[in-house]
Amino acid sequence: MYISQSLTLLILLSTVSAQTKSSKRGLVYVPSPKHPLDDRWWDSSTSDLTWYYNYGSQPSPAFSNNSNFQFVPMLWGAPSSSSDTTFLDDVTSLIKGGTNISYVLTFNEPDGGDNGGSNVDAQIAAETWIREVEPLKQLGVKLGAPAVTGAPTGFNWLQNFFTHCAGNCSADFLPVHWYGNFEGLASHVGQVNGTYQNMTMWVTEYAQDHATLEESQSFYNQSSQFFDRIDYITHYSYFGSFRSDASNVGPNAAMLTQKGDLTDIGSWYLGGTATGKVPKGAADKRGMFTGSSILIAMATIWTLL
Ligand SMILES: *[C@@H]1O[C@H](CO)[C@@H](O)[C@H](O)[C@H]1NC(C)=O
Ligand SMILES: *[C@@H]1O[C@H](CO)[C@@H](O)[C@H](O)[C@H]1NC(C)=O
Ligand SMILES: *[C@@H]1O[C@H](CO)[C@@H](O)[C@H](O)[C@H]1NC(C)=O
Ligand SMILES: *[C@@H]1O[C@H](CO)[C@@H](O)[C@H](O)[C@H]1NC(C)=O
Ligand SMILES: *[C@@H]1O[C@H](CO)[C@@H](O)[C@H](O)[C@H]1NC(C)=O
Ligand SMILES: *[C@@H]1O[C@H](CO)[C@@H](O)[C@H](O)[C@H]1NC(C)=O
């Protein structure tokens, strides 16, 4: 009897850990011109993805037939001219043209210039926000605060940003980036919530970078269960929608193998079961990225793809 109870418990527990579906899940993805067929994996009609972003203000043509895959425009950096309203105009046109835009994201790693971040001065960002982002509120769009890195510089930058806004940047939610282990992620999320208690959170880039396959998978499992459990995290997008040999966060974090097949993590993320496909890296590039755990950004990926 003792044995059969333990068995039941074991079965229950494994059912819980195999629960891989989540409506909070989205995609951060820049289509690869080199491997256009890889786009097919992210078709939202065959997965549980509900939203995506591509670091830009225009939807990805690859997903134009995915009506249930909501595009989230991003104002990546600050335009060079202080009267530029391209982002505002683009998003307004999309909405007027019938595209369902509920949210926008702003400023990708403005505090992380050296690793592909947008490197924007907090005052310029505040001025840009007031000109290009705040007016979208009138159209019913929810506004994402700047997506700073997970480093201490992120907290400082964000505080400066809100100071320069002087109450005129009404952010609705706070995007978070994290590269590192699960304990670090949980502690960071707690610190962000403690600092900005009025805002829900989106985790728009995260992975355990440069880890073993087992560590990467265990991190993936722990973090998705954590995000699904916490009410104030409403959306998350795993940083891994690329081939393992082009990954700047190490091969084991990637959702696609070097051949373009789904890895276990890739399949779990889409709501499927393990594929058993083991990702391999390119030549060992680890040295280039030491200490990069918090400063990974898209410009780097663009150059690698
Ligand atoms: C991760 O979760 C999957 C089920 O979703 C399970 O099969 C796998 O063993 C777990 N791996 C680790 C390392 O926790
Ligand atoms: C979308 O559907 C149209 C009409 O069926 C087709 O011509 C087009 O190639 C499709 N686009 C993509 C990106 O699949
Ligand atoms: C637009 O997307 C939101 C989710 O972000 C959804 O609740 C709403 O029903 C959608 N509206 C239309 C017209 O599809
Ligand atoms: C914020 O809004 C107030 C009231 O509209 C205005 O007086 C002030 O100049 C604005 N501050 C900035 C930094 O735009
Ligand atoms: C949360 O606080 C920040 C900083 O004071 C403010 O700019 C933002 O508009 C607030 N957001 C909400 C949803 O109240
Ligand atoms: C942040 O955490 C506190 C304490 O758990 C909670 O009361 C608060 O509602 C959280 N913030 C949001 C936006 O949910």
Query: pLDDT digit string (tens) for 162-208?
Result: 999 999 999 999 999 999 999 999 999 999 999 999 999 999 999 99
In the predicted structure, residue 109 carries a pLDDT above the cut 80: yes
In this structure, are residues 189 and 233 in contact, taking their beta carbons and an 8 Å threshold?
yes
Q: Which candidate, 261, 265, 235, places its Cα nearest to that of 253?
A: 265
In this structure, are residues 277 and 263 in contact, taking their beta carbons and an 8 Å threshold?
yes
Residue that has been written with the tokens 């610190």 in this structure? 191
Q: Which candidate, 99, 205, 194, places its Cα nearest to that of 155?
A: 194
**Ligand 2 contact via 64 beta carbon (within 6 Å):** yes
> If you average pLDDT over every residue of the chain, what do you get?
88
Q: What is the distance between the alpha carbons of residues 171 and 129, in angstroms, rounded to a whole number? A: 10
Q: What radius of gyration, in Å, describes the C-alpha atoms of the chain?
A: 19
In the predicted structure, residue 283 carries a pLDDT above the cut 60: no
In the predicted structure, residue 62 carries a pLDDT above the cut 70: yes
In the predicted structure, residue 289 carries a pLDDT above the cut 50: no
In tens, the pLDDT along 27-46 reads 999 998 999 999 999 988 88
pLDDT of residue 3: 41
Pocket of ligand 6 (CB under 6 A): 193, 197, 199-200, 232
**Ligand 6 site-directed mutation target among 174, 192, 197, 202, most atoms within 8 Å of CB:** 197
pLDDT of residue 293: 33
Q: What is the distance between the alpha carbons of residues 153 and 156, in angstroms, rounded to a whole number? A: 5
In this structure, are residues 201 and 194 in contact, taking their beta carbons and an 8 Å threshold?
no
Nearest ligand (C-alpha, residue 234): 6
Question: Measured in angstroms, how far is the CA atom of residue 199 from the centroid of ligand 5?
Answer: 7
Half-sphere exposure of 278 (CA within 13 A, CB side): 4
In the predicted structure, residue 4 carries a pLDDT above the cut 50: no
In the predicted structure, residue 116 carries a pLDDT above the cut 80: no
pLDDT of residue 20: 67
The residue whose CA has the least distance to atom 7 of ligand 1 is 18
pLDDT of residue 297: 40
Residue spans of the domains in the chain: they are: 18-304
In this structure, are residues 48 and 19 in contact, taking their beta carbons and an 8 Å threshold?
no
A 10 A CB-CB count for 229 gives: 8
Nearest ligand (C-alpha, residue 202): 6
Look at phi and psi of residue 34 and say left if phi exceeds 0, alpha if psi is from -120 to 50, else beta.
alpha
In the predicted structure, residue 144 carries a pLDDT above the cut 60: yes
**How much is the average pLDDT of 148-170?**
97
CA angle 281, 285, 288 (to 5 degrees): 150
| Terminal CA-CA length for the chain | 56
**How much is the average pLDDT of 287-292?**
35
Q: Which pTM does this prediction carry?
A: 0.88
In the predicted structure, residue 53 carries a pLDDT above the cut 70: yes
What is the assigned CATH class of domain 18-304?
alpha beta
In the predicted structure, residue 72 carries a pLDDT above the cut 60: yes
In this structure, are residues 134 and 169 in contact, taking their beta carbons and an 8 Å threshold?
yes
Q: What are phi and psi of 213, to 5 degrees?
A: -60, -40
**How much is the average pLDDT of 72-91?**
97
**How much is the average pLDDT of 77-89?**
97
pLDDT of residue 46: 81
Nearest ligand (C-alpha, residue 231): 6
Q: Quick one: which atom of ligand 3 is closest to the CA of 103?
A: 5
- Selected residue with higher pLDDT from 225 and 299: 225
**What are 245's two structure tokens?**
């040999």
